[in-house]
Structures are given as C-alpha cells and as structure tokens.
C-alpha cells in the first residue's frame, strides 16, 4: 500500500491560498512518489484553517456535504492520481426536509475514491474547545467501513484520540478500542494538533518531528498494541503545521504499523 500525508500550513479563512499551497506541494513532489498512490490524507479543516473563534467567523466557509470546495478538490485529486482522498472540512447540513430547524454544523472528514465518488463522510465525535464554538458532536460514533483497496478502515479526527472532553479515564481508550473492536486494517486520523511548548523554541527545529507528541498518539492506541494482533494494522496521522494566532501546530504526520505488540515507523515528517 502506498500512502501520502499532505502536511501543510493553511491559514484561517484564506481558502484560495490554502488550495494553492496544497496543489503546490503535489506539483513539487516527484512523479515516482505519486505513481500507484492508494491513499492521500490531508489535515483537519484543511482548506479553511482551524482556529475559528465563533460560528459567525466560520459561517462563510461552511460547506454542504459532497458539494463544497473541499469536495471538489478531493474529487479532482482522486481522479488525477486514481487514489482515495481524505480531507477535513466544516460541514453545514440543511435539516429542514426532516423537521423545521436551523442548519446543523459539524467538523467533518470526507472520503472520495479513485472514481471521484464520495464513499464516506465522518463527523467528529469528540470536540475540542475550539470546535465547540460552532460545531455539534457527530451522533454516529467513530467511523468504520470496508473501503475497496484499503480494507476495513477506522477513522477519527484529532480530539477523537483523546479521552472524552479530557474528563474520561485515560484507560477508556475510546478510539483505540474502537479500532480494535471493528478489526481495522487501516486507521486514519486527520488532525490539527497543536503544541503546548513555547512557540519560539518549538520553531527553531522545523525539520524535526515532535517525538513527545508522536509517543502520545501511539500511547492512545494502546489497545491495538496490547492485543498483539498478528495481521499488521496501518495507522496514518495527518496533521497540519504552521501557526494561527496563538496556536502552533506540531506537524509530525506519520505512517506507522502495529503488529504483534510492536510499532513500526514507516515515515514521519517534521
């Protein structure tokens, strides 16, 4: 399986330039690296930026499921490279056909296959405090689905990896047990994960991954490791980088394998 993480630094509300940044990275990539690509994963809220302060601020950038700019980019890119594309976006759902109510808003991730068809739309279950200013919790739990070419996929978004609202017991491992219970072959996490370190110190080593964060992510998948599964489980963390206001994002996108109680690192970015 050939996997790519498109790690970059989107800025809040700068959709056109964010799209151009993503395209520029793909254009600069070596052709051989994109040949035979199976899966391309982008960060959480990849083209809108993440650090919105209110529903009013994010409102101009909300997208209907399957027909917004993020969906268009995902379809175009999936068709170009004949691969599955996963991209995070802010979803607006018109519910008036079901009952008279205001639209619903979710922090979501869209999955498009190599034919350009939308095959999954997952809504973030565990919200970070930034999400709570505008989004609702997804009601259907973490994603699970049998995806042709990938196998049995579990998918979450960033905060889903943490204990619920940082209040649930550490050992609940909600997302980790989900991936184990559904017998996932591939685990995808699209992220906007920030650092608690001093931003000036953190920025001095831009090429180095944040190993403390990577270790934390792996720890939150402890159920998969302790299960000592004989068949390898591939885990993709696609995080963003750069700064938005007072938030500095850690990058450190990685592709790991978990098998028989061991963790293998196949690739990690700075």
Mean pLDDT by 10 residues, the chain (270 residues): 97 97 96 95 98 96 94 98 98 78 92 97 97 97 97 98 98 98 98 86 84 96 95 98 92 97 96
Catalytic positions, please? 44, 124, 158
Q: Which residue has the tokens 């083209």?
A: 47
Partner residues linked to 201 by β-bridges = none
| Cβ atoms within 10 Å of 1's Cβ, excluding its own | 14
Cα distance between residue 29 and residue 6, in whole Å: 11
175 and 143 in contact (C-beta within 8 Å)?
Answer: no
Half-sphere exposure for 32 (CA within 13 Å, toward CB): 0
- Report how far apart, in Å, the C-alpha atoms of 255 and of each of 1, 27, 151 are: 11, 22, 16
Helix, strand and coil content of the chain, in percent to the nearest 5, comes to 30, 30, 45
Query: Cα separation of 252 and 267, whole Å?
Result: 10
Closest CA to 190 of 57, 72, 62, 84: 84
Position 91 scores a pLDDT of 98
User: In the chain, what is the straight-line distance between the N-terminal and C-terminal CA atoms, in Å?
Assistant: 22
Cα distances (Å, whole numbers) of residue 225 to 210, 211, 256: 21, 18, 12
Angle in degrees, CA 215, 122, 112, rounded to 5: 100
Could you say which DSSP state residue 137 is in? P
**Under a CB-based contact definition with an 8 Å cutoff, are residues 9 and 21 in contact?**
yes
pLDDT score recorded for residue 203? 77
Report DSSP state, residue 138.
P
- Residue 83 and residue 39: Cα distance in Å, rounded? 5
Q: In whole angstroms, what is the distance from residue 66 CA to residue 63 CA? A: 8
- What pLDDT is stored for residue 85 in this prediction? 98
What pTM did the predictor assign? 0.95
Give the 3-state secondary structure of residue 82: coil
């Amino acid at each position: 399986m050939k996997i790519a993480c498109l790690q970059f630094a989107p800025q809040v509300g700068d959709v056109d330039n964010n799209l151009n940044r993503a395209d520029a990275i793909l254009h600069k990539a070596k052709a051989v690296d994109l040949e035979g690509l199976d899966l391309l994963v982008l960060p959480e809220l990849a083209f809108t930026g993440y650090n919105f302060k209110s529903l009013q601020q994010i409102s101009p950038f909300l997208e209907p499921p399957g027909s917004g700019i993020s969906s268009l980019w995902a379809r175009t890119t999936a068709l170009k490279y004949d691969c599955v594309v996963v991209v995070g976006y802010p979803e607006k759902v018109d519910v008036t056909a079901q009952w008279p109510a205001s639209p619903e808003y979710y922090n979501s991730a869209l999955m498009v296959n190599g034919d350009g068809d939308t095959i999954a739309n997952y809504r973030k279950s565990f919200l970070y405090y930034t999400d709570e200013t505008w989004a609702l919790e997804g009601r259907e739990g973490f994603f699970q689905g049998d995806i042709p070419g990938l196998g049995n996929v579990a998918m979450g978004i960033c905060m889903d990896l943490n204990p619920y609202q940082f209040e649930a017991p550490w050992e609940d491992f909600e997302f980790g047990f989900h991936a184990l219970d559904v017998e996932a072959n591939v685990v995808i996490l699209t992220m906007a994960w920030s650092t608690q370190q001093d931003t000036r110190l953190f920025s001095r080593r831009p090429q180095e991954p944040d190993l403390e964060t990577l270790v934390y992510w792996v720890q939150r998948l402890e159920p998969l490791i302790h299960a000592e599964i004989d068949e390898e489980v591939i885990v993709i963390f696609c995080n963003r980088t750069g700064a938005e206001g007072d938030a500095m994002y850690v990058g450190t996108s990685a592709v790991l394998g978990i098998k028989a109680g061991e963790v293998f690192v196949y690739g990690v970015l700075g």
